[in-house]
Every structure is written in structure tokens, then in C-alpha cells.
Amino acid sequence: MEKIWLREYPEGVPAEIDLNEFASLKDILEKSCRRFADLPAYSNMGATLRYRDIDRFSRDFGAYLQGLGLGKGERVAIMMPNVLQYPIALFGALRAGLTVVNVNPLYTPRELEHQLKDSGAAAIVIIENFAHTLQEVLSRTPIKTVVTTQLGDLLPFPKRTLVNFVVKHVRKMVPAWRIPGAVPFRRALARGAGQTLGDVPLGHEDLAFLQYTGGTTGVSKGAMLTHGNLVANLQQASAWLSPCSRPAEETIITALPLYHIFSLTANCLTFMKVGGHNILITNPRDMPGFVKELGKIRFTAITGVNTLFNGLLNAPGFEQLDFGALKISLGGGMAVQRAVAENWKRVTGTPLIEAYGLTETSPAACINPLTLGEYNGSIGLPIPSTELSVRDDEGRELGIGADQVGEICIHGPQVMHGYWNRPEETAKVMTPDGYLRTGDLGYVDERGYARIVDRKKDMILVSGFNVYPNEVEDVVALHPGVLESAAVGVPDEKSGEAVRIVVVAKDPALTAEALIEHCRQHLTSYKVPRQVEFRAELPKTNVGKILRRLLREG
């Protein structure tokens, strides 16, 4: 497709990025730590780590991991919310030449076991609030080393001791656990301080992340994101930011979890590259606490999903905050709603800019110009060095315009190398000429802006997180009172979409409440159905395939 979108690029944004400026994420981190040594890098709960601290602590943690005998490319899982330990563990693993496996701390034992076994992770760094989940499955995984951390471990004394005491003994947020041989995070740092961090040569082809995402089969798959993929996306993102941002001058609010690809790349990594200051919000669901934190900071940027922005807009005190420094508000992970965008502009004075991407594209593929004055309903322009193609079911490229709706396909240096140990799944999403099939239906308008009209997949998007029907249906099928079921997405004011399960019951006494409680035992909360509908039968094709489309339509 002709790159008509280049005409809409803001002044100063290049058509192509220099992929060879950096060899790896390790290269970017170490250069940033030298260049911005005295500047604040990450803050949380009133404590701040400067770039020189990040350099020292990540060096120590990397040396500790190497001291365990972990070699280049071996997998290390990180399972924690937004706390100061996260960037230390992340960068330590990357500097040691290891591959990071991000894990949602809210996973159930079943979900955690699958991801650890599938990735072959040899070590895990986990916040102890969720260590009881790991304890349940540890013996069935390849994990050899467990490093545990408490919420306040990198806060200064005595605040560290006080926070950890309150979390454990006052708020009772740490269920009892016992993992023999588990190493406390601070002890691991101390051990690493006395060891040498070996210099592991890393290039664009080396694996940086196994970033797990769901699939239409219901099997969670690890997208293989290389150092080259992430270097490319950081180069693309920082080029796109350049008209509105200045190195060493930005403060970004990081409320989305860092284990999610959006926050990982857009916040943690991109703003590290430009010497920015990440304000880590551990629990953004605590809206009063979140608003109070925002009142202490002159922030210049914030990212989030539509539901986060909507939640803030409806939180008491938010409208009274000082938004004088705010320049960039970026929404992704799910569609930004016009009403939310317009309300955000009214309250903050800055537009809510929509971006688009996938785990498989590291994630950024399209972003609206940050100089855009108003919400425009599009997902933006393909970013530098990115090709976008709209194709029909036979793979033929379509033209420009709203009457040329097809599947959006993406090509660029940020596109993953495939799914970990799943060549057949990789083949389903990659075209012969190297484009990624996104599963989203849309078109490119006359100015080059991409617009999504529907999702080709049956995936349900809950607050920016993918929920795949087959996984929910598999769990529902475990209940002895269920004959068959189908999961679909339904509109939800708070989360964008919610899960509805349509059930044909085997046991006439089966209730919706019992089924939801069953699901809570096996699924992360955002995957649990909000609605249960009982029917005598489900609509099917002549070969017996359930027609979810008809269920969504009513």
C-alpha cells in the first residue's frame, strides 16, 4: 500500500528509523544510565531511584542471576506489580543476557503453571503477596530458583520496615506461603554486589522477551520479541514523541501494569531511553489514593486504557488537579471512546491521543500525531519504518477508503519473530510476504489514517486485556453441571467489554452464582464471566461449530 500517511507526519518525525544505532536493550539502558546518571528514573510510594541507582542495582541483580549458572537466553519470570523492584529485576535479567517472561501477578495456579512450563523458566522473581500461588504449582514447573520480594523492599529505612509490616500484619495482604530455599530480593542484590557481571554480547536477533498473549485456540502463547524488535519500537516511539517531548525533562504516570506490553514499552522502556521519570502507581484501582498521588506531581505525560481515563474523570478531586505541565495523554490497549476523549480534553486541556498495537508488534504499530488537537476516532498513522496493508480473506491487498474494509496487516522491524515453540500458530498469523495478520477489520482513509470497524477474532477485550472465549469455555466445561457453553463479549460501561457465558445445563439445578464462583477458582478476575445466560441449545453450523456471532447479536 502506498505510504500516503507520510504526508500527515508531524514536522521532524522521520519516515524511517535508524535500527543500527543500538545493538540491544542492554545497550540503550547502559547509555541512558551514563547520560542521565543524576536524574530521577523511577519513583514509587515516595521513594526515587536515579539512573545511577538503576545502573548499580540492575548490575548487582544481573550478576546474581549469572552466579546461579544461568546462561544466555535462559528464561527468568517476573511476577510483580508496579514497584521499584520491577525495573531492577527486568534490567538485571536483560543485562545478564537472559530472556524475560512477564507474568500477571493475579494469575490462578492453573494459568501460572502453564506459563512457567511453556516458557521453560528456570527462575522467578515474585512479590510475596502471590507466593502462595507459586507454592501450589512449583513442583510441577522447571523453576529452580525463587527470589521473593516484599512490597516496600526498595524503600528507605524505616519506611521499608513499616510498609512491609503493615502490608503483611495489618492489612493481611500476604497469604501464608512456604517455599524452601526462596531467596529474599535484598539478599540477592547483596550477593550480586560481590560478584562480577559478565559482558554478554547481544544483538538484534537475540531474544529479549517471551511476552504471553492468548489465542483463538485458548492456549496462551509466548510472542518471541527480540532485542531488535524492542530497539525498533523504542526508536519508533521516541521519534514519534520528539515534537512534544524533550530528553531528560519528562515525567510520566505509569499506572498500567508493567507486565503488560503497552506499559512495558511505552512507559518503562521508551521513557528510560529519553531520560524520563516514571512514576509507578502500584494500585490504580484505589482512585482516591491515585488522585492524591497525582496531586503531588507535575507530570507531563500519562498513558492508560479508556477505562482508566474514565475512572479518573469520575474520581472526586481529579478535576481540581493542576494539569499545567501535561503535554501527552496516550490511550491504547482498547478503543478510546469519543465521550471519554472529549471529557478528558475539557478537564485537562490536552487531547487524549489514541494508539494501536499488539503484543506481537512490541506493541506500537499506529499512533495518532501527538500534535493532534482533537479526538478523530482513528487508531492513527503507521509509525516510522512500518508498512500497513488491508487485505481480503484471500490475502489480496485492498485500496483506500471506507468501502475497502479488510484485515489490517502490519509489517515492520517491531513485528515478533513468531510464537515460542508453536510454528503452526505462527504460520496462521504471518503472511508469506512477512506481514502480521492482526485479526482486526478496518480500512485506511484518504489521509492515511487507519480505522478499525470490528474484530475478526472472537477475542473479548476487558479493560485492555485479552480474554479468549475458548479458555473461558474450557473452564466452564470442567463444571459437572454444564453440557456445553459459549463465551462472548458484551458492552460494559466500566471495562469496555465483559464476558458473558451462554450455557446449556446438564444439571437443571445449576445456578449462575455457582458457575461464576467455579470460574473464580480457575480464572483471573477479568476473565470471569459477569453474566450467565441459560439456553436450551446453542446456534451451530451444519458441522457443529458454535456460532458465537449469533450469540453476540442477541
**Can you give the residue ranges of every domain in the chain?**
460-552
Residues 530-533: contacts with CB within 8 Å, 24+ apart? 530/490, 530/492, 530/498, 530/499, 530/500, 531/490, 531/498, 531/499, 531/500, 531/501, 532/500, 532/501, 532/503, 533/500, 533/501, 533/502, 533/503
Residues 6+ apart with CB under 8 A from 545: none
**Coil vs helix vs strand at 210:** strand
Contact (CB, 8 A) for 108 and 68: no
Let me know: does 416 contact 261? Beta carbons within 8 Å. Answer: no
3-state helix vs strand vs coil in the chain, percent to 5: 35, 25, 40
| C-alpha cell of residue 315 | 474520581
d(CA 175, CA 172): 7
| Cβ atoms within 10 Å of 488's Cβ, excluding its own | 23
Give the burial string for 172-190 (b: 16+ CB within 10 Å, else e). eebeebebeebbebeebbe
Model pLDDT for residues 430-439, shown as the tens digit of each residue: 999 999 999 9
Q: pTM for the complete prediction?
A: 0.89
C-alpha cell belonging to residue 244: 512534544
Asked if residue 465 lies in contact with residue 260, where contact means CB atoms within 8 angstroms, the answer is yes
In the sheet with 123-127, reading across from the earlier edge strand, the strands are 183-184, 145-149, 123-127, 75-79, 99-102, 207-213, 221-226
Per-residue tens of pLDDT for the chain, all 554 residues: 999 999 999 999 999 999 999 999 999 999 999 999 999 999 999 999 999 999 999 999 999 999 999 999 999 999 999 999 999 999 999 999 999 999 999 999 999 999 999 999 999 999 999 999 999 999 999 999 999 999 999 999 999 999 999 999 999 999 999 999 999 999 999 999 999 999 999 999 999 999 998 643 456 899 999 999 999 999 999 999 999 999 999 999 999 999 999 999 999 999 999 999 999 999 999 999 999 999 999 999 999 998 899 899 999 999 999 999 999 999 998 788 888 899 999 999 999 999 999 999 999 999 999 999 999 999 999 999 999 999 998 999 999 999 999 999 999 999 999 999 999 999 999 999 999 999 998 999 999 999 988 777 788 989 989 888 878 988 998 899 998 899 999 999 889 999 999 999 999 999 999 999 999 999 999 999 999 999 999 998 654 568 888 898 87
| CATH topology classification for 460-552 | GMP Synthetase; Chain A, domain 3 (3.30.300)
CB 124 within 8 A of CB 79: yes
Helix (H, G, I), strand (E, B) or coil at 423: helix
C-alpha cell at 77: 519470570
List pLDDT tens digits, range 288-332.
999 999 999 999 999 999 889 989 999 999 999 999 999 999 999
How is residue 171 written as a grid cell? 492489612
The DSSP-derived string for 37-106 is TTSEEEEETTEEEEHHHHHHHHHHHHHHHHHTTPPTT-EEEEE--SSTHHHHHHHHHHHTT-EEEE--TT
**Which stretch of DSSP H or E encloses residue 193?**
helix 185-193
Instruction: Quickly tell me which residue has 516514571 as its cell.
Output: 278
Strand-pair category, 328-331 with 75-79: unpaired
- In whole angstroms, give the CA distance from residue 457 to residue 451: 16
